[in-house]
Every structure is written in structure tokens, then in C-alpha cells.
Chains A and B, each alone.
Chain A
Amino acid sequence: MEDKLTTVETAKELGLLPEEFDKICEILGRVPNFNELSVYSVMWSEHCSYKNSIVWLKTLPKDGERMLAKAGEENAGLVDIGDGLGCAFKIESHNHPSAIEPYQGAATGVGGINRDIFTMGARPIAQLNSLRFGNLQQERTKWIIRGVVKGIGDYGNAFGVPTVGGEVYFDDCFTVNPLVNAMSVGIVEKGKTVSAISYGVGNPVFIVGSHTGKDGIHGAAFASKDITEDSADDLPSVQVGDPFQEKLLLEATLEAIDTGAIIGMQDMGAAGIICSSSEMSAKGEHGMVIWLDKVPTRQANMKPWEILLSESQERMLIVCKKGHEDKLLAVFDKWDINCEQIGEVTAGERLHFYMHNELVADLPAESLVLGGGAPVYHREYREPAYLQEIAKYNNAAVPEPADLLPVMQHLATHPNLCSKKWVYQQYDSMVGTINMTTNQPSDASVVEVRGTDKALAMSVDCNSRYIYADPHKGTAIAVAEAARNIVCSGGEAVAVTNCLNFGNPYNPEVYWQFVGAIKGMSEACLALGTPVTGGNVSFYNQSSYEGPVYPSPVIGMVGILDNKNQHQTLYFKRPGDLIYVLGEMNNDLGSSQYIYSYHGIKHSSCPHFEIDAEVKLHQVLHQIRANNLAESMHDIADGGLFINLIESGFYNKLGFNISTDAALRTDAFLFGETQSRAVISIDPHEQPVLEKLLNASGIPFRLLGEVTEGAVRINGTEYPSIEAFGQLYDEALGQIMEA
């Protein structure tokens, strides 16, 4: 064994707590050497161990009829979509790397999440992302945006899986610490999935893919601390991506699975070889011996701990059936990918790592992993002081503008609401030729499942402002909106993956936000029948300048259209069609983009939301769709009814002539963000049938007016045409970015 023993001081430098160092000594029955201590420091980091979140994550609903793999069981969630197929999907953050090296940080985020999907044997068919950036007036913010978007594009485009949807938000709180969350969705034949497991004494262990370098060492630990002025010194913690290698790895991996030679497989993401070997071994209740000198490296003289912890991208660990090595080697040779045996499965439950015949680390696998020996903490939490500011908010005191046009122009060009064309046109959204929303836009992205009648609908949603105002209700809204998007697209909401982006969990006010978010998510997921299949927690999203970012539990949801022909689009079809709003109209302006940026009120209540009303709305929308009554269906979200209506009009350049409710404030009617509402347009002939259905349902509804040839008319006042608004909406972000 390496002679140099460690001290509690070394442990602290590696990010471990003194009591964690004591626990390690207890587990090993001795003082760890530096290799071992490094291993614990990453495996027990927040990123790998979920030590500060797991207690609460376990309370999330994870049962459902369609579940094939529940949260925590595999690399990603897996749901049954019928026709003998499963859908694997997951979302993950790459926030810290993107903060200091936007291009590689975002690119490797895309690579990592796709590997999580194909390591299970599923072929990724669609990608989404959820991005939050800071103040657009700052050149540095634009630099981050350009880098992140190009990073996602270059990696995802070359990888050859369409980026079909996403969201982009801007707020000053994300200026230093942007949020970059990537989601991947894949399809696998039921029974052909591969587990991240290791068993069978004597079975050979292979490393496949890229050479191992010094990049990304301590990346998981880096992700588990605040961003400070010194963070740029952590640059080597950012990995470098190679999408070409990933594409080859995808094809080779799926082909290798077909040979039947594979026992188990796990991609190497955070904490590299040590993470894969320990998690697979712990799961299979076996030991493993690894000869680190056999790992192909990019540079000579890498230290054992560097090889163990390297987060070099595009690598997999494979446990192969003994005697079937040739099949594995043939496939990887065909694709010109490294495939080296570096160890074998052993009896017992210990991991032994050798370097040139010298034992350099000897650890019980179980002690390293989540659900095993990794620490579990109950953090204290308390209501944040800022909630008192929110409690002071008086909706009635918000002045109502005499002229609505400046508000309309403000909202139509606001970066949070306007077209994100400048971003998404840099992503290949059409490769794979299954994206049905390219030419038929709907609230959720819809892709056909080739070889079946079905389609999948998917959406990522989170309004951080709402969650800041009320984590519980705000997160429930995020779930509800994702489901609403799917329902408005003709689908049935099925299951959730989440990416929980918060500040430092040791700050009780931040932790209070986290706890509230989990409770709200549980409540909404139970009510909507969408279990949580897994996801990712990203704490420490805060900077020394701005404090914690707005809490951002991003919800990624997948839904099913049993028949792809039931795809419902969001845009107006014909002049003269009638426009209805379904759901409650009221005077609520809380947390709307309108009062936040037009009036500059940064502290206000979370929008009105009741889960029962949401469930009811979805039932009604399903009925409308089943009876084929609606020409268009579009949920009311950020920016309120007005933004909804112009978005419905752009595609066919059709406007609207509507009247508001005289009993309500006009600004609240048009720009308020009360939840559980949707707009539909119908052929006038369907009016009696629709109104009968709506009356029977008991949900509030209102005939707003009708679709026009292009004019925008509200309460008899003529505004600029839909084409004029369209131009503002389309070009706003590009003008800022190219300025």
C-alpha cells in the first residue's frame, strides 16, 4: 500500500468534514491513504452521494403502473409505453462547469445525459434542455450564452439526436451561476435493457471509449461547492467532450448489447472509474479487482488517484461474460474504439485497485455508495426572511396602465417570453425524422415512435420566480404546467424526471426552499398520476456576489399519444373560429412577468393555483380532444393570456378580436399568470356541443371572441397586426445577442 497516510487536514482540503474522516477510518479500521481518501471525497460529495437530499428525495412518489425501473434503481427512469417498448429518460445539470467554461461545460452535460440513456441499452431519440442565464446587459452573460448554446449544439448535433424542445430564462440571479440542464429520452425493447451491475466471479471487466486523462478530476467535488472568485482555478475540473467518440460509442454499445456478452454496464460520469466500479459492485454484491496501469491514458505517469477520479468523457465500464470477450472486442474493433480489460469480478464485496502489482486502494464497495455507507444528513431549515417582503405584496396597489400597448410590446419582446429562435436554430431539431412539431407546433414537443401508432410528448418546465415566492406551490405549478403542455398536445402525462437546482444546502433558508419544492412536487405528481422516475440534485448554485440563485426544480415530463394522429396543435386555423378560455379568470398579478419586469415588483405572491382545478382542466381538455372539437389548444403560461393569443396567431398570421371581463382589471385579464387555464379555438359549428360539454364539466369558461384575418382587437381598440407583433417577438432575442 502507498505509505503516505492522510490526516483530517487533508480530508478537509478534499471537501470532507472531520466527522466524515472519522467515519472513513472506522469503516477501514485504519487511516486511509491518499488514494482512498480521494475516492471517499468524491463518492461522498453531494454530487454522487446525495447526502443532503436523499432523505427528502425518498418521499417523492415513485410508483405507477407503467414503471419498469423506479427512481434510484438504474441510471435513468424507465417506463412502459406499450408495443413491447420502454422509454428511458432523465435530466441532469451541468451548472458549475458551464459557469466557468460554458462551451465544454454544456457540451459534456449533453454527452453525460445521453450516456445515461444508452448505457441502459436504449437508443436516445430526443433531447431537451432547460437553461437559465443572467443579466443580458452584461457582455459576460452573452459570452456564457454563446458558449453554452454552441456547446449544446456542437455536441448534440454531431451526436445525431434531435434537440426537440426546452426553455430559456433570464434573471439577474443567474449572472454568475447559470443553470444548464440537459434531458435525453430513449427507446428500448422491453427485456433488452442492461443494468449497471457486476457479478460472477472471474468475469472480466473492460473499459471502453476514450483514453483517460487528467480532465475533470474532482469534478464531482467541484460541483459540490459555491462558486467564488477562485472558481476559475478549478478549470481542470471541467471535462472536455468529443461528440464523435460518443456517437461511435453509442453505435458500438448498442451493437455490443446485441451480442449477449454483457453482464452489466455503466457509463463514467461523475467520479469516473471509482463511481462505476463501486456502484456496479455494490449493486451486484461482488468485489472487483482493477489494474489501474492497464487503463489507456492520455498522458504518462498519471497517479492512481488521478486515474480513479478522472472524469474524462465518453467512457464505459463493462462487465463481460467470461468466454465471450471475443464478441465484445470484435464490435469495438469494428467501431475503432478502445476496449481494454482492466480487471475482473471477485468474491466478497471489496474493491482492490493495483498499480504495477502494488495494492494502492482497498475499500468495501458498499461503503462508498448512496444507500450504502455514504453519509445521510438531515439538514435544518427555516423560513427565509424574504418571505416577509412577499407577504407585504398588495395586488390591488399595482397601478393599472392607461395604455396597454407599451405593456404588450414590453412582453412580446421580453427575453423570457419572446421567440428563442436565436437559440434553437443552432440545434439540429430534425435529425432522426421523427419530430412532428417542426411543422405542427404544439405546447409539448412530440416525436413519433417509429414502428408503432404511438408518439411521445415531452416538456421541461420551471418558473423560478414562482418557486422563489412559494417553493411548495411553485413546484406544484411546474409539474402542472409540464402535464398541461402534454395534455394540450393530445397526450397523456406519464412520468417525471427532475433536476433540482438550489443554493447551498447548509443555508437553512435554501434548504427550506428545497423541502418545500419536494413537498409541492409530491403533491402535484400524486394528483396528476405522474410518478418521479429519478433525476439529479444540484446544490451550491450561488455566488459570493448574488447569493443563491432562485430555486429551480426543473420538471422534465414524458407523455404518450396512443395514436399519433391525435396530436393537437397550438395555432389558430381559420378566421372566424371562436376563441374560448377555460379556467378561472381573476385579478391575480402575482409573480407575473408583467409586474416583475414592467412594474419592477420583485417580491410578489406566487400565482393562484389549485391542484384540483388543474386535474379538472386536464379531464376537460382530454374530452375536447377525444371529441375532436378544438382546432387549437394552447395553455396559458408565462406572460398570461395576451402572450398565449399572439403565440396562437403567429403560425398562420391570424389575429384575434376579443373582449375582456369588465368586472376584472384588464391588465390582470390579459397579463396575469393564474394557473390551470388554456385557450382553445373551435369551428363555430361546434359551439353548442362544446358549451354543453363545458357546462357539464363545471369548469369556468368564457367565450373571448374570434380569430381574425390578422388584426389584433381588444375591447374594440385596434392594436398592431399579428404580423407586427410577430416581427417583434421573433427578432427580440437575436437583436440583443447580436448587438
Chain B
Amino acid sequence: MKKLLIMFFVILMCMSCKKDNQNVYLQQEEISLVQPRIEVSNTIIDSFVTLVAKTGTKGTEIYYTTDKSEPILSSLKYVTPLKIFEPGVYNFKSFHPNWKPSETATITFYKMGYQPTDIIWYTKPNEKYKGQGRLTLVNKKKASLSYGNPAWVGFDSVAIAKVVFNNKMMVKNIDIGFLCDPQSWIFPPSEITLYLNDSNNNSDKIITLVDGLDSMVPSTMKNINIEINKEVNSLRIVITNLQHIPEWHEGAGNKAWLFMDEWIFN
């Protein structure tokens, strides 16, 4: 009995010493996983596209939703690559028994829109980020999250272009995709103006103001949908980059970058 008691005390002593020692090192529950890596064949759906979600940490499980809600442990579990037939918003999140869950990776799929016959540019993108030629924004290929991806067209000033269709056609709305990456000084545009049929009449002008950012957010691909519901054979599009980066940002007062891809006409 005496021996047992001594043994018990030794264990107790070790535990108390151990606690002090342990505090030095970072614990897993203090650190988040990186959001899942999403690779897709395309985000503009003709018949279907394929999606692969990856995580580099052993023991991690990926859950996803298709109703814009945050994935939780009871959401759909990602097991094998997905075939996606329907446009919509897909959210993915990594979970692990020890590490903190990741942020949510969001990817939006679009239906193939009308194909314009031409784009005439009145302003030029920055020399370093000029995409893959003048049709980059309507080439049915969406850029990835990295601003270095050649599918992005980057502007440090206003972007003005005219989009021309073959015939006059009913355009319900337009999707304008852009990158939101304030760490790299890339912000949403401040204002988008559409001139229907290249006219200057007020009745054919649609002005949309875009919400800015009020804090540092992780890099995301965003999209703004503008209702048109008119017959058009051309559209002049004027997109103004943010002229003054807000006070909370290290680049306060400077012009922000505007990175776009892609324009879809529905």
C-alpha cells in the first residue's frame, strides 16, 4: 500500500511539472486548417463540370453545402470528385479532431451565357495583368483565386469597354466577376455603369454602386449580378476601381486594384 501511495504521488508530481512545461509549445486547437483546395474543370457549365477538393493534412474531412449555408459536421461529406450539372453556390470546409476548422471555401458555378461577338476596349489593363487578350473576360474560363492567374484582367484605373452581340437580343442580367483580395490591395469596384446599346440616354443607363470592404477579409472571388431585362445589341460597360483605399488599410488613400473575370450575359 505504501509503495502504491508513493507511486501515486510521483505521478501527481509529474503532472504538475508537465503543465508548466507544456505551455511553452503551441497547441493544435490554437491553429486553423487552411481551407480546402478546390480544383474545377470550369465554373461555367455547358453540360457538367468536375470538382476536386483537397486538403494536405492527414485525418482531415471535408464537408460541403449547396444552399449557401456554412458546412458543419452533419453536412454532405466530400468523398470523391463531384460532377456538377446545376449552377449554384458550393461551400466547402475542412474539419479535424484536433485542429481548428478551416475557413469556408466558396465556389460559384454559372450557366453558360450569350456569347458576345466582340469587345472593344477604350481603356487598357495594367501591362502586368492584361489577361489573355481582349476577349479574356468573355472566354468562358473563370480565373482561380491567385491574382497571378492569367485569366484575371487587372486595372489600376477605370475600365471601359463595349460589348457587341450579333443580333439584338433579350438580356435579362449580367454577371461581373471580380477578385476581392485586400491583402494584395485588390478591392471590389466602386461603381459600375451600363449604357444599353451604347446610348447616352438616361433611360438606357444603369448605375450600380458596389459595397466596399470595412475590414481585412481573406481572398475571395466575388460576383455582382445586374438586372437589365431589355433588348440590346451592344453594351458599354464602365467599371470604376476604388479611388481611395479606406483608412483601416495599410494602403489608405491610394488607388485600389480592380481584377475582373468573367462577364456573363444571361
A joins B in a complex: no
